[in-house]
């Protein structure tokens, strides 16, 4: 029923993931945390997990419909 | 005791376990209870992406190049997110066309061109063999580290002959495994159930092994991640290790590697094999599209901690690529290093198995078969001879590919670090991406463009990545890299056309893809497609079109006998019977139906590849497949039909809605009709009751002359009261008629609602008291100037009070009248403590003739039923005066609450009734 909307949501998720994983946003997080190493890996892991979570939510919901 | 024998026993025991799992998987498949028919197994089999390079190399790369190792996994994450758009289409095309490999895919897209298929197979062979070598090297190296620790591994490696090199024997065992489980069917487009089951198992093993060493590092060697990173923060030499500065090429290198990993994930032969060829059900993609990225996330979680721990704990001599092994070894553990070794072994063998199957299929179907079919000797073959040939070729190819990989590893493997070879192979595989992806979406891409693009991309790749590798191994002069060949500066491999400062992979990717895409698009725009190419292009680009694949696309003519003989010769009797099953039996010289020809070609394509299948079918069939116009017309008619269907559906939905509305309206009319009937019956009854008693008493008075005086007076009294009741009822009916016809005359004038309400309360007070109703009054304002007809308004208030008294609770009935200001209105509410009015009844009580059904059928304690006219009349009056009347839940007493709201009229003097009221009202009589 809702297939077109689901497609749009997936496209938006892909765009979001590309934006999260590419430089302009990355550079914001490439700063040392209190004299320690860069926060970049932490940021990537969090963004990555968020993207996977959203994808899982979207895909499994679509399966139910 | 970390004995040599123990390690060997564990390693080969593990390989034996793989045989058992694969054999089990194949047996289950034969019994029809497939092991791999689940999206989770599918996702795990895709994880063959994580090779020994991931297992050992990620840590090394994290130690030397910061977070850039993550890009290798972020690219596939993006690709899997797009799988509903891209990979689903690939799967559908592959199953319709019985595609056996990526070379077959590209060859089929460009008119089943055998030369293009051969080109792709060659590029894959050149580009991927080093990658197989890398896996063997990882096995050798990890074994050496495990056995020789704490001695450095490299020193010992050089002294050993290949008889002592464990990876040689592992390669041999793998060759046996692949021959057993990878060449069971002649039809390479069929899935290898046992092999996929083993691969999925290996994916679990490597994940568990890596997580174990990660947990050990973080929680045993250090006190949790906080402790580890506090120590990293304290080490000045590690301060820049995790920032973007550590990534080769910085931001540009970051994007380049991301794109590279994205493309390679789709085009590496082994990924194509597990993603597309081994796909059982395209719905599995839905789960895999997030489960596989999750797997990648999990296996990378501990890479940075392990790398940082390895760097912190010193051991400067040991190679970062081996940190995974040396960390638990340095802690003196026995079991964990073995588990890690097995994890690395599973990562390496999984990759080698799938990659070798994919490559051997390409070699047999795209390189050897077309040559054999052209040779004049083959056609005299007897039944099923070619089937044996084909499997034999594949088996030889498997052994040769593994041998080639081993030789590569033994001869030049030492000159590269693990990661370098991996990315070089990625860049080679990425050359397939333009031909494949553009071909799937742009119908105009043609064979010449694809071939030239592939060749150019491959040459640029070789120039910018492969040759420099040789140069670094010392096979070419060192000046080759620094000054360019023959001193030509703009040809320098790492700075082509003077583009300097980029990392070598992004640099190579940019130039090779530019050449590749440029030629593919440019040549396609200026050259023609053959008819078969046009057909195939349409079939590929429109693959997601519903019903396209169900259409039979053959128009050629041949006899059943010829077709049967062809299949028999090349595929053997069993396959021929499968193709002919389900087709009506007829004589051999009858023409073969188009469906049969299509099935025959598919069966041949599954075994030999689409290009060879086409050559064979053409040798017996006269005529052509449907041309482009025919396919386009099929697409058009189906889309037209779909459109007509859609419109019809919409119409029928509208019709259904209209008839539903009609039904509801009809229902409503019947209800009103029923109410009217009831009303008439009730009115007649109500009118007749007083009339009957008047008549009865009048007759008694008339006949009984000698009645006592008091009785006579009593009867007269009854007659008078009943007449009053009768006239009141008639008055109500007249009121209603006036309201309905709009002839109700009101006499609006300024008045004080407080005074009026008090007056009404006084009027009904006695009556309520006799009924036992406790009537309370709560005036929140001292004066409430409104405009209204005092008589009519009093009638309304009395009616409300009367109703409330009737419906209040049987036990200690209470009625509450409240008057308050609400914004610029006054609200007079009358509530009771009765049962209340249900939500769906709340509007209906204002319908004339409507009476609330009381469970105790009404007239308890002498409280009469109403005529059912009071509320409709009241609402009509209030509405005439510009106010509203409605029902809500009683806020204080819990029963029903009727609220009358009238607008505030402050301008009018609230005491003087004689002043002319609102302009529209008639003058007082």
Delineate the domains of chain B, giving CATH numbers in brackets: 4-370+383-424 (1.20.1730.10), 431-542 (no CATH), 656-739 (1.10.287.130), 746-903 (3.30.565.10)
Lowest mean pLDDT among B135-144, B146-155, B219-228, B336-345: B146-155
Nearest residue to B607 via CA among B224, B201, B910, B188:
B188
pLDDT band with cut points at 50, 70 and 90 for residue B204: very high
What mean pLDDT do residues B414-436 have? Answer: 80
Nearest residue to B48 via CA among B175, B196, B181, B158:
B196
Q: Is the confidence at residue A39, as pLDDT, over 50?
A: yes
pLDDT band with cut points at 50, 70 and 90 for residue A1: very low
In a domain, residue A7? The reply is no
In a domain, residue A50? The reply is yes
Spell out which residues of chain A touch residue B67, defining contact as CB-CB under 8 Å. Answer: 38, 40-41, 44
In a domain, residue A65? The reply is yes
Spell out which residues of chain A touch residue B81, defining contact as CB-CB under 8 Å. Answer: 10, 13-14, 17, 51, 55
Interaxial angle between packed helices B284-300 and B71-81, expressed in degrees from 0 to 180 and rounded to the nearest 10: 160
- pLDDT digits over B836-894, tens only? 888 888 887 887 656 665 544 444 444 445 556 788 888 888 888 888 898 888 888 88
Segment holding B842, helix H or strand E: none
Residue B773 exposed, middle or buried by CB count within 10 Å (0-12, 13-18, 19+): buried
Please state, in angstroms and rounded to a whole number, the distance separating the CA atoms of residues B26 and B789: 95
What mean pLDDT do residues B125-131 have? Answer: 87
Contact at 8 Å (CB) between B79 and B266?
yes
Among A5, A39, A40, A64, the strongest candidate for a mutation testing the B interface, having the largest count of B CBs within 10 A, is A40
B917 or B822: whose pLDDT is higher? B822
In a domain, residue A53? The reply is yes
In a domain, residue A63? The reply is yes
Q: Which residue of B has its CA nearest to A24?
A: B251
Q: What pTM was computed for the model?
A: 0.68
Nearest residue to B342 via CA among B330, B355, B328:
B328
What mean pLDDT do residues B784-807 have? Answer: 85
- pLDDT digits over B271-291, tens only? 999 999 888 888 888 889 999
Give the count of domains, chain A.
1
Query: DSSP letter string over B717-762?
Result: HHHHHHHHHHHHHHHHHHHHHHHHHT------EEEEHHHHHHHHHH
Q: The complex's ipTM?
A: 0.92
Q: Is the confidence at residue B627, as pLDDT, over 70?
A: no
What mean pLDDT do residues B646-668 have? Answer: 90
Range of the domain at A60: 38-65
Q: Is the confidence at residue B240, as pLDDT, over 80?
A: no
In a domain, residue A30? The reply is no
Q: Which of A13, A27, A48 faces B297 most closely, judged by CB atoms?
A: A48
With a pLDDT cut of 70, the percent of chain B lying above it is 85
In a domain, residue A4? The reply is no
N-to-C CA span, chain B: 122
Q: Which of B66, B81, B283 faces A55 most closely, judged by CB atoms?
A: B81
Centre a 10 Å sphere on the Cβ of residue B904 and count the other Cβ atoms it contains. Answer: 17
Distance from CA of B430 to the nearest CA of A (A): 19
Is any Cβ of chain A less than 8 angstroms from the Cβ of B517? no
Is any Cβ of chain A less than 8 angstroms from the Cβ of B389? no
Centre a 10 Å sphere on the Cβ of residue B450 and count the other Cβ atoms it contains. Answer: 30
Residue B704: helix, strand or coil by DSSP?
coil
- pLDDT digits over B579-595, tens only? 777 766 666 677 777 77
Cβ contact B229–A37 (<8 Å)? yes
What mean pLDDT do residues B97-116 have? Answer: 88
Distance from CA of A47 to the nearest CA of B (A): 11
In a domain, residue A52? The reply is yes
What pLDDT, on a 0 to 100 scale, did the predictor assign at position B869? 75
Q: Is B83 left (phi over 0), alpha (psi -120 to 50) or beta?
A: alpha
Per the prediction, chain A carries an average pLDDT of 80
Cβ contact A52–B233 (<8 Å)? no
Lowest mean pLDDT among B37-46, B110-119, B184-193, B562-571: B184-193
Is any Cβ of chain B less than 8 angstroms from the Cβ of A38? yes
């Amino acid at each position: 029923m809702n297939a077109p909307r689901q497609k749009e949501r997936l496209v938006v998720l892909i765009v979001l993931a590309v934006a999260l994983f590419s430089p302009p946003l990355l550079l914001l997080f490439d700063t040392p945390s209190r004299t320690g190493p860069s926060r970049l890996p932490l940021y990537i892991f969090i963004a990555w997990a968020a993207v996977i979570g959203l994808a899982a939510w979207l895909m499994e919901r679509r399966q139910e419909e | 005791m970390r004995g040599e024998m123990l390690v060997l026993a564990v390693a080969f025991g593990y390989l034996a376990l793989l045989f058992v799992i694969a054999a089990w998987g194949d047996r289950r498949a034969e019994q029809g209870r497939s092991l791999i028919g689940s999206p989770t197994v599918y996702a795990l089999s895709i994880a063959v992406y994580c090779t020994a390079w991931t297992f050992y190399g990620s840590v090394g790369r994290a130690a030397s190049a910061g977070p850039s190792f993550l890009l290798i996994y972020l690219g596939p994450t993006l690709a899997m997110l797009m799988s509903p758009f891209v990979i689903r289409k690939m799967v559908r095309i592959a199953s319709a066309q019985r595609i056996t490999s990526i070379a077959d895919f590209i060859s089929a897209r460009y008119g089943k061109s055998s030369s293009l298929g051969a080109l792709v197979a060659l590029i894959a062979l050149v580009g991927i063999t080093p990658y197989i070598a890398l896996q063997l090297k990882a096995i050798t190296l990890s074994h050496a580290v495990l056995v020789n620790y704490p001695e450095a591994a490299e020193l010992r490696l050089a002294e050993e002959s290949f008889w002592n090199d464990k990876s040689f024997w592992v390669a041999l065992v793998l060759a046996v495994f692949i021959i057993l489980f990878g060449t069971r069917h002649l039809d390479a487009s069929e899935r290898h159930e046992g092999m996929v089951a083993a691969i999925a198992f290996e994916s679990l093993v490597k994940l568990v092994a890596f997580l174990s060493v990660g947990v050990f590092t973080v929680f045993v060697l250090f006190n949790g991640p906080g402790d580890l990173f506090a120590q990293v923060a304290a080490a000045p030499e590690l301060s820049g290790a995790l920032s973007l500065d550590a990534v080769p090429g910085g931001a540009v290198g970051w994007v380049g590697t991301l794109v590279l990993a994205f493309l390679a994930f789709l085009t590496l032969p082994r990924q194509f094999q597990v993603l597309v060829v081994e796909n059982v059900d395209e719905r599995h993609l839905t789960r895999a599209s997030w489960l596989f990225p999750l797997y990648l996330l999990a296996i990378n979680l501990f890479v940075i901690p392990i790398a940082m721990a390895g760097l912190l704990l010193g051991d400067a001599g040991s190679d970062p690529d081996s940190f995974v092994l040396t960390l638990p070894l340095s802690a003196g553990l026995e079991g964990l290093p073995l588990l890690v070794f097995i994890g690395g072994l599973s990562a390496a063998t999984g990759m080698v198995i799938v990659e070798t199957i994919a490559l051997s299929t390409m070699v047999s179907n795209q390189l050897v078969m077309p040559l054999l079919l052209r040779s004049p000797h083959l056609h005299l073959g007897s039944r099923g001879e070619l089937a044996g040939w084909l499997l034999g070729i594949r088996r030889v190819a498997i052994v040769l590919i593994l041998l080639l990989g081993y030789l590569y590893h033994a001869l030049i493997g030492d000159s590269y670090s693990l990661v370098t070879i991996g990315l070089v192979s990625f860049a080679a595989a990425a050359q397939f991406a333009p031909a494949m992806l553009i071909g799937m979406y742009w119908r105009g891409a043609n064979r010449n463009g694809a071939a030239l693009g592939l060749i150019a991309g491959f040459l640029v790749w070789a120039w910018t990545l492969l040759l420099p590798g040789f140069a670094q191994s010392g096979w070419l002069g060192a000046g080759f890299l620094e000054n360019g060949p023959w001193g030509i500066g703009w040809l320098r491999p790492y700075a082509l056309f003077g583009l300097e400062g980029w990392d070598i992979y992004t640099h190579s990717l940019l130039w090779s893809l530019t050449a590749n895409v440029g030629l593919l698009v440019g040549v396609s725009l200026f050259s023609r497609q053959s008819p078969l190419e046009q057909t195939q292009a349409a079939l590929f680009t429109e693959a997601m079109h519903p019903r396209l694949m169900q259409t039979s696309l053959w128009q050629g003519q041949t006899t059943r006998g010829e077709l049967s003989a062809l299949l028999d010769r090349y595929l053997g009797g069993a396959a021929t019977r499968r193709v002919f099953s389900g087709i009506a039996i007829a004589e051999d010289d009858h023409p073969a139906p188009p469906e049969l020809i299509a099935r025959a070609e598919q069966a041949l394509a599954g075994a030999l590849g689409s290009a060879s299948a086409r050559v064979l079918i053409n040798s017996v069939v006269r005529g052509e497949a449907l041309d482009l116009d025919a396919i386009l017309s099929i697409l058009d008619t189906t889309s037209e039909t779909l459109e007509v269907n859609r419109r019809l559906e919409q119409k029928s939905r509208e019709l259904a809605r209209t008839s539903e509305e009609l039904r509801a309206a009809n229902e409503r009319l019947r209800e009103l009709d029923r109410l009217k009937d009831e009303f008439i019956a009730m009115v007649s009854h109500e009118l007749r009751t007083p009339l009957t008693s008047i008549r009865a008493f009048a007759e008694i008075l008339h006949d009984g002359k000698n009645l006592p005086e008091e009785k006579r007076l009593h009867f007269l009294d009854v007659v008078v009261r009943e007449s009053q009741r009768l006239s009141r009822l008639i008055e109500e009916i007249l009121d209603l008629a006036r309201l309905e016809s709009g002839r109700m005359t009101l006499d609006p004038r300024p008045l004080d609602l407080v005074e009026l309400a008090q007056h009404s309360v006084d009027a009904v007070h006695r009556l309520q008291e006799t009924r036992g109703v406790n009537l309370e009054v709560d005036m929140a304002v001292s004066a409430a100037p409104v405009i209204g007809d005092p008589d009519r308004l009093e009638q309304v208030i009395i009616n409300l009070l009367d109703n409330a008294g009737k419906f209040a609770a049987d036990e200690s009935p209470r009625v509450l009248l409240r008057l308050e200001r609400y914004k610029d209105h006054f609200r007079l509410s009358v509530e009771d403590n009765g049962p209340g009015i249900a939500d769906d009844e709340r509007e209906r009580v204002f319908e004339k003739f409507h009476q609330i059904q009381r469970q105790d059928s009404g007239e308890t304690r002498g409280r009469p039923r109403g005529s059912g006219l009071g509320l409709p009349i009241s609402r009509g009056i209030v509405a005439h005066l510009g106010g509203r009347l409605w029902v809500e839940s009683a806020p204080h007493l819990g029963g029903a609450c009727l609220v009358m709201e009238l607008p505030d009229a402050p301008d009018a003097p609230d005491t003087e009734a004689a002043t002319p009221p609102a302009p529209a009202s008639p003058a007082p009589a």
